[in-house]
Structure 1
Amino acid sequence: MKRLLMAVLGLLACGVAAAETVYVSDTLRLGVRAEPDSSEPAESVVVSGMKLEVLERGEDHLRIRTEGGDEGWVKADYVTTEVPAQLKAERLQEERDQLDAEVEDLTGRLEDARNQQAALAQELEKMNQRHEALEAEIRRLRDARTDPGGSTPWWVWLAAALGLVVLGFSVGVTWYRHHVVRRLHGLMP
């Protein structure tokens, strides 16, 4: 029984250790040497992602110049013409950050445009209501002008008043003549 318990505990301990995950580092440190010989001590170190200018090619070494101006030999197996994944990832992250900023800016501009559209729609609705009110007033005025039961224009009243004045004056003159002729017993003055 004790052995069985020890075996179970041993298996559990192995399972815990196997669950841990680790990764190989992608940072490479490469020694720059005075001669194309790996047994020579390194004078300086270059790391992953550094740009190197190739000055000369040897059998399995390259003579390089760093961006800082240091010159020396490095093993050719550890350099490549392709941009390292770390730099690619950094560039992609920068591009993503720029795109995120652009999206945020465009989202803000879209919201502003929507607000402007809503304000313009309200203004258009007010203008449409004003237009409908003016058209109704025009119809009312046209109907009043053509409708005999409606209000009569001022010039018709003026013409009627002038007609009554002329008629009254004519009747008055006629009456006066008739009255004078009667008084004078048929003689005209």
Structure 2
Amino acid sequence: MPSMSGSPMNRRRYWVPAVFCLLLVMLLPMLAGAETLYISDNLRVGVRTEPNSRQPPVNVVTTGQRLEVLERRDGFLHIRTDGGVEGWIKEIYAVAEQPAAQRLLALEKTHAETLAEKEKLESALREAVETNDAYAAEIKRLKEENLELHLQVVKEREVEPYPQPGDGSTWLYVSLVLAAIVLFGIGMLWQRYLMSRRFGGHRF
């Protein structure tokens, strides 16, 4: 029976896994994703074309710059900045967190934005309260006018118990005023509904 040790099929059983492992090793850095570091406080670091100190710097990165780490070798980092600067720097100058000065600036910016948003909401709330007060004052005035008209109608009835046929001007005027009050009330309810939706369901 012929031996299978030297057959093409037998050789394939060994080199296919070997090629697969080699490809996996080459792809591991890409699968892991790029590392991000920052230049530590108060530094200007030279960027070199090769990972050694004998090479003169061709560019400079400064404190707070975000660096994408492409490779590590012999205490050097192969980096690329957001602006496209690429080269090698000493690893000791890079840190994983943003420097304290940069974090402080970011916090101050967030604080200022929060204060501006707070002032904006307070201003909108004041306007809504003022509008609500104005509507309440107008409703009070209309109620007082309605009461005066009602008293006037009652007084006229006492003077003239039996109104003359065809003289309906007073009732027409009262009806128009009452209709105006009803329409104004409907408008107020609609305005309060819109304001309630605008401020997340708060009632005014």
Query: TM-score, structure 2 length as denominator?
Result: 0.51
User: How far has the Cα of 1:151 moved from its partner?
Assistant: 4.7
Task: Look up the match of 1:70.
Answer: 85
Provide the secondary structure at the position in 2 that maps to 1:46.
Answer: strand
Question: What is the total number of aligned residue pairs between the two structures?
Answer: 125
Equivalent residue in structure 2 for 1:90, among 99, 105, 111? 105
Determine the C-alpha separation between the residues in 2 that align with 1:64 and 1:96.
32
Structure 2: segments with no counterpart, 5+ residues = 1-39, 165-204
- Higher-Rg structure is 1
Q: CA deviation at 1:42?
A: 2.2
The answer as to whether partners of 2:41 and 2:99 remain within 8 angstroms in 1 is: no
For CA contacts below 8 A with separation 6 or more, give which structure has more relative contact order.
Answer: 2
C-alpha spacing 1:97/1:130, structure 2 compared with 1 (3 Å): same
CA deviation after TM superposition for structure 1 residue 46, in Å: 0.6
SS at match of 2:56: coil
Letter matched to residue 142 of structure 2:
M
CA deviation after TM superposition for structure 1 residue 120, in Å: 1.2
1:42 counterpart SS class:
coil
The verdict on how the C-alpha distance between 1:106 and 1:85 changes in structure 2, with shifts beyond 3 A counting, is same
Pair 1:42 & 2:57 matched? yes
Please give the alpha-carbon distance, in whole angstroms, between the structure 1 residues aligned to 2:116 and 2:163: 71
Shifted more, 68-77 versus 33-42: the winner is 33-42
CA distance 1:152–1:101, change in 2 (3 Å): closer
Instruction: Please point out which of 111, 114, 117 is paired with 2:129.
Output: 114
Secondary structure class of the residue paired with 2:95: coil
Give the aligned residue type for 1:115: E
Match of 2:171 in 1: none
Question: Gapped runs of 5+ residues in structure 1?
Answer: 1-24, 145-149, 156-189
Alpha-carbon distance, 1:61 to partner: 1.4
In 1, are the aligned partners of 2:47 and 2:61 still within 8 Å (CA)? yes
Q: Paired residue for 1:5?
A: none
Aligned to 1:132: 147
Distance 1:154 1:97 in 2: 71
2:115 to 86, 100, 110: 100
Q: How far apart are the structure 2 equivalents of 1:52 and 1:107?
A: 41
CA contact (8 A) 2:77 2:88 kept: yes
Q: Cα distance, 1:39 vs. partner?
A: 4.5
Structure 1 moving runs of 4+ over 6 Å: none
Instruction: Give the drift of 1:31.
Output: 1.5
Q: Distance in 2 between matches of 1:49 and 1:70?
A: 15
What percent of counterpart residues are identical? Answer: 37
